[in-house]
């Protein structure tokens, strides 16, 4: 209908922008507006908008050169961007112009937006953080480049077959990518393997293999369009794309091998979210993008400044987790081997330039590489790491460290198979090491980095994560944005802290009613979408209780599912009670090799099937596992949530950012004192959040002093019943033993303390029911949540990085 040319209404005066779109449609898409399909219009719209963006991009870049200011370089293996059309339009202030121009051709912007594939170049929170940071950097008018990998397939697409996760390749580039610009002139050689030989004073590294990295740039538009920064992603190609002699001799496949090898580097994002993949290919990917980025940064500096020694005055390099931490060795290599600096001087310059963000305390997620692998792939870097290590260990000895402390500080793990510790490398090579929430930063000092912290006591600092309120409020929830503007004016659009003006209106029942109406219509829209895509009917007046995030044992989707089963039992045993109707929504991907996480997905689906088809719970309980949770799905679900599940085992979630998005959209949090939940509680107030469970300290104590989950289970009838129902196959009649092992683990060791926290969690859930019955109280609490989480804007986070770490503000 929309693309039917006959339905195009006659217009009075086409706007300049409309004329531009039509021109673009003809000249760049090559289509007559009468014959154009939706997708052609979609492409033309982006190209036309892009023209507007490019002008600002060029002027931002010129301004940076003219001002000679310092640039921020954000190196990240992941950028979980999602869609860009709505974001760019909204930030540049052209949404209604675009809507009008498209309406003149009988098209709806919202329909075209749905054609854009998600750029899913990340696993979860860490990658999404990088995307929020890029937007905030542009918003705060800070010259910045994001550096990463242009994965052809990125994160896998998740399908649910008979309740099981199936991983499919994401083909987001299948129809081309109108946002990107290939920069053939910005390409660098990346070496692997080979020999290192002494030559005069220095050394020469002759790699056995070389791959070419080429830049592909995407513009990042800040709020109000003042600055447009660059996200520079690297793609790989062989120096010799085809060996013609081999091809002509009949070896058609072998002749292309080099190109295939290069291609495989940028194919997929390892779904190794919080556990090491241990794959050589991953180390190659890390070095590939890090080396290209560092070469690009140094090239730019030398080109404009001449002297490599002034690099820290003009460049701040932030390492997002340890994935790019080989940057320390690469920068040293370039300083020493290529620019001829003395090692000591190079080391000081390196540290002044680099800073590192830690994202996890999970020991299994701290990257280490087998020394023989590292040495084979990067022989020169291995030498440099040894040289750095002997320097650091000398400093440690001088400071009076014990042998035990020295073993912990060393860049090489000598226990068992020798391994290179990437977190230690990043720590010693950086002038700043930050955690991502207050609790996490304190735990960093006490656990993983205890000894490095005692040697360098001023290096660790905290920068609590944030999310961009443009994407996570204005764009995903225009209804709520309008209500807030009507209530307190527009100041909060430029400064999220101003949302606090809502506090004074928390008792205003008209405002409470309007926010409730918006929430209801968002729930209705989500219910429609779920009906259409999954065939499940949801009651928009039920409490929407949501847990969407990567599936991981520490995030405890299993605790939520056990409680769901307990609630199901309770509703059936006490049908006479006034149960609050609930919809439990789950979503998230499991790493493909993570057996228990995949089993949790199956369990959620098994429970959903049973509960949703049981007439005895009527409309009181529904369970949904939404497939392929990604940024766009998050943008649909979060504005429709009443309750945000943030229930990780205390001490294990570094920060969380989903928690912030939900509160900003007026959901109440049920959660543990973990990650940024602690600070969310401090901001929204104890009475506007539901906290339960063990503290991080209590978890550590229990683990140290011997914890007996069996005893706890036997003391809790509700828990024991729910566990035995799951374990005995009530939800898996086709395979009664399916969950015996999963539940057995809880009886056996319960590392994640589901049993210890169950009673507190169930009681907290019933207190949520009671709050829900108090409509006025709930609405007031929702307002206080929206009003008090402006502090969790990534603008605030980035201002702190800029002031304390990068020294650019």
Ligand X SMILES: *Cc1c(COP(=O)(O)O)cnc(C)c1O
The residues binding ligand X (CB under 6 A) are 80, 124-125, 128, 549-550, 630-631, 634, 656-658, 661
Kindly state the smallest distance separating residue 578's Cβ from ligand X, in Å. Answer: 31
Cβ distance to ligand X smaller for residue 125 or 154:
125
Nearer to ligand X, 129 or 428 (CB): 129
Instruction: Output 159 or 572, the one with its CB closest to ligand X.
Output: 159
Known active-site residue 549: yes
What is the nearest approach in angstroms of ligand X to the Cβ of residue 124?
4
Assign 358 to helix, strand or coil.
coil
* Selected catalytic residue, list 359, 419, 440, 463: 359
Q: Please tell me the distance from the alpha carbon of residue 448 to that of residue 571, in angstroms, as a whole number.
A: 45
Give 355 or 632: the residue with its C-beta nearer to ligand X: 632
Alpha carbons within 13 A on the beta-carbon side of 708 = 5
Q: State the minimum distance, in angstroms, from the CB of residue 734 to ligand X.
A: 31
Distance CA 31, CA 22 (A): 9
Distance CA 333, CA 806 (A): 23
Q: Which is nearer to ligand X, 301 or 589 (CB)?
A: 589
Nearer to ligand X, 80 or 102 (CB): 80
From 139, 214, 649, 657, active-site residue: 657
DSSP-derived letter for residue 363 is: G
Sort strands 202-206 and 195-199 into parallel, antiparallel or unpaired.
antiparallel
Q: How far apart are CA 559 and CA 670, in angstroms?
A: 13
H/E element, 792 = none
Rounded to the nearest 10 degrees, what angle do helices 509-534 and 775-788 cross at? 90
Catalytic choice (150, 419, 549, 584): 549
The nearer residue to ligand X, 132 or 530, going by C-beta atoms, is 132
**CB-based contact 518:617 (threshold 8 Å):** no
Distance between CA atoms of residues 121 and 115, nearest Å: 18
Q: How far is residue 118 from each of residues 53, 84, 799, measured CA to CA in Å?
A: 20, 8, 28
User: How near is the Cβ of 297 to ligand X at its closest, in Å?
Assistant: 28
User: Which residues, in sequence order, are bridge partners of residue 646?
Assistant: 671
Phi-psi category of residue 99: left, alpha or beta, with phi > 0 → left and psi -120 to 50 → alpha? alpha
Q: Is 552 a catalytic residue?
A: no
Give the nearer residue to ligand X in terms of CB position, either 630 or 649. 630
CB of 462 to ligand X, least distance (A): 17
Q: Residue with structure tokens 């794959």?
A: 279
Helix (H) or strand (E) holding 309: none
Distance of closest approach, residue 488 Cβ to ligand X, in angstroms: 26
Residue number with CB closer to ligand X (382 or 496): 496
* Close Cβ partners of 531 (under 8 Å, ≥ 6 residues apart): 537, 538
120 forms beta bridges with 80
> Cβ of residue 653: shortest distance to ligand X, in angstroms?
7
**Least distance in angstroms from the C-beta of 122 to ligand X:** 8
Q: How far apart are CA 192 and CA 212, in angstroms?
A: 11
Minimum separation from the CB atom of position 634 to ligand X (A): 4
Measure the CA–CA gap between 237 and 177, rounded to whole angstroms: 19
d(CA 392, CA 409): 8
Q: Give 42 or 662: the residue with its C-beta nearer to ligand X.
A: 662
Question: b or e along 442-454 (b: 16 or more beta carbons within 10 Å of the residue's beta carbon)?
Answer: ebbbeebbebbbe
* Residue 445 annotated as catalytic: no
Show the beta-strand stretches assigned E in 207-314: 209-221, 228-238
State in angstroms the smallest separation of the CB of 665 from ligand X. Answer: 12
Alpha-carbon span 489 to 439, nearest angstrom: 35
Q: Which of 555, 610, 622, 780 is catalytic?
A: 555
Concerning whether 359 is annotated as a catalytic residue, the answer is yes
C-beta separation of 550 from 589 below 8 A: yes
Q: Is the dihedral of CA 243, 246, 250, 253 positive or negative?
A: negative
Q: Measured from the CB of residue 661, what is the shortest distance to ligand X in angstroms?
A: 6
| Angle (nearest 5°) at CA 626 between 622 and 628 | 175
Is residue 775 among the annotated active site residues? Answer: no
φ and ψ at residue 675, rounded to 5 degrees: 50, -140
Q: Has 555 been annotated as catalytic?
A: yes
In this structure, how many other beta carbons lie within 10 angstroms of the beta carbon of residue 626? 22
Per DSSP, what are the bridge partners of residue 544? 583
Instruction: Give dist(CA 473, CA 661) in Å, integer.
Output: 8
25 vs 437, which CB is nearer to ligand X? 437
Q: Which of 530, 550, 532 lies closest to 120 in space, CA to CA?
A: 550
Closest residue by beta carbon to ligand X: 658
Active site residues: 359, 549-550, 555, 657, 661
């Amino acid at each position: 209908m929309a693309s039917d040319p006959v339905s195009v209404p006659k217009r009075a005066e086409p706007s300049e922008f409309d004329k531009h779109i039509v021109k673009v449609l003809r000249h760049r898409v090559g289509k007559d507006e009468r014959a154009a399909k939706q997708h052609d219009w979609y492409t033309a719209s982006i190209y036309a908008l892009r023209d507007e963006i490019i002008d600002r991009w060029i002027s931002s870049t010129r301004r940076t050169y003219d001002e000679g200011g310092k640039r921020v370089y954000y190196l990240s293996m992941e950028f979980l961007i999602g869609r860009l059309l709505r974001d760019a339009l909204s930030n540049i202030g052209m949404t209604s112009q675009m809507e009008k121009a498209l309406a003149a051709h009988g098209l709806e912007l919202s329909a075209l937006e749905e054609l854009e594939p998600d750029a899913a170049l990340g696993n979860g929170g860490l990658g999404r953080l990088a995307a929020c940071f890029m937007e905030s950097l542009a918003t705060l008018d800070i010259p910045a480049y994001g550096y990463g990998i242009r994965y052809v397939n990125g994160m896998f697409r998740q399908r649910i077959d008979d309740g099981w996760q199936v991983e499919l390749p994401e083909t987001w580039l299948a129809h081309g990518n109108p946002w990107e610009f290939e920069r053939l002139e910005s390409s660098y050689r990346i070496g692997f393997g080979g020999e290192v030989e002494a030559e005069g004073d220095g050394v020469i590294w002759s790699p056995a293999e070389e791959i070419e990295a080429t830049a592909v740039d995407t513009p990042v538009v800040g709020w109000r369009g003042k600055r447009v920064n660059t996200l520079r992603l690297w793609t790989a190609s062989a120096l010799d794309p085809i060996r013609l002699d081999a091809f002509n001799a009949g070896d058609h496949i072998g002749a292309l091998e080099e190109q295939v090898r290069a291609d495989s580097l940028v194919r997929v994002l390892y779904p190794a979210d919080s556990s090491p993949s241990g794959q050589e290919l991953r180390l190659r990917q890390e070095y590939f993008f890090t080396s290209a980025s560092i070469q690009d940064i140094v090239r730019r500096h030398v080109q404009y400044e001449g002297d490599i020694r002034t690099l820290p005055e003009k460049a701040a390099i932030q390492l997002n987790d340890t994935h790019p931490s080989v940057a320390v060795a690469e920068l040293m290599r370039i300083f020493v081997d290529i620019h001829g600096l003395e090692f000591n001087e190079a080391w000081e310059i390196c540290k002044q330039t680099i800073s590192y963000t830690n994202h996890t305390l999970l020991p299994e997620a701290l990257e280490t590489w087998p020394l023989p692998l590292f040495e084979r792939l990067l022989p020169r870097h291995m030498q440099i790491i040894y040289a750095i290590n002997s320097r650091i260990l000398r400093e440690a000895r001088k400071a009076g460290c014990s042998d035990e402390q020295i073993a912990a500080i060393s860049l090489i793990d000598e226990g068992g198979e020798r391994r290179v510790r990437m977190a230690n490398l990043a720590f010693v090579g950086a002038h700043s090491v930050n955690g991502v929430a207050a609790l996490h930063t304190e735990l960093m000092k006490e656990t993983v980095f205890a000894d490095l912290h005692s040697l360098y006591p001023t290096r660790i600092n905290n920068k609590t994560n944030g999310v961009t309120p443009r994407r996570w409020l204005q764009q995903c929830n225009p209804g709520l944005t309008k209500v807030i503007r009507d209530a307190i004016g527009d100041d909060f659009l430029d400064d999220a802290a101003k949302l606090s003006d809502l506090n004074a209106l928390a008792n205003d029942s008209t405002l409470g009613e309007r926010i409730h109406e918006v929430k209801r219509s968002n729930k209705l829209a989500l219910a429609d979408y779920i009906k259409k895509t999954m065939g499940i009917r949801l009651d928009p007046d039920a409490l929407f209780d949501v847990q969407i995030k990567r599936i991981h044992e520490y995030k405890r989707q299993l605790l939520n599912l056990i409680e769901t089963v307990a609630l199901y039992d309770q509703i059936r045993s006490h049908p006479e009670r006034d149960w609050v109707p609930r919809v439990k929504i789950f979503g998230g991907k499991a790493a493909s090799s993570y057996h228990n996480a995949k089993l949790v997905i199956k369990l959620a689906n098994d429970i959903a099937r049973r509960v949703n088809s049981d007439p005895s719970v009527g409309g009181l309980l529904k369970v949904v596992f939404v497939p392929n949770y990604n940024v766009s799905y998050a943008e649909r679900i979060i504005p429709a949530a009443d309750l945000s599940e943030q229930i990780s085992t205390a001490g294990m979630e570094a920060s969380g950012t989903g928690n912030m998005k939900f509160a900003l959209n007026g959901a109440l949090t049920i959660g543990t004192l973990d990650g940024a939940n602690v600070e969310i509680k401090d901001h929204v107030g104890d009475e506007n959040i539901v906290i339960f469970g063990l503290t991080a300290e209590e978890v550590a104590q229990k683990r140290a002093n011997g914890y007996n989950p069996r005893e706890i289970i036997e003391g809790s009838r509700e828990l024991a019943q729910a566990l035995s129902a799951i374990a005995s196959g009530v939800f898996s009649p086709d395979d009664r033993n399916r969950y015996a092992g999963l539940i057995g683990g809880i009886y056996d060791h319960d590392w994640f303390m589901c049993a210890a926290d169950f009673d507190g969690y169930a009681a907290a859930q019933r207190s949520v029911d009671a709050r829900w019955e108090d409509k006025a109280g709930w609405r007031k609490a929702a307002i206080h949540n929206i009003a008090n989480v402006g502090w969790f804007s990534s603008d605030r986070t980035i201002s702190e990085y800029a002031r304390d770490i990068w020294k650019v503000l």
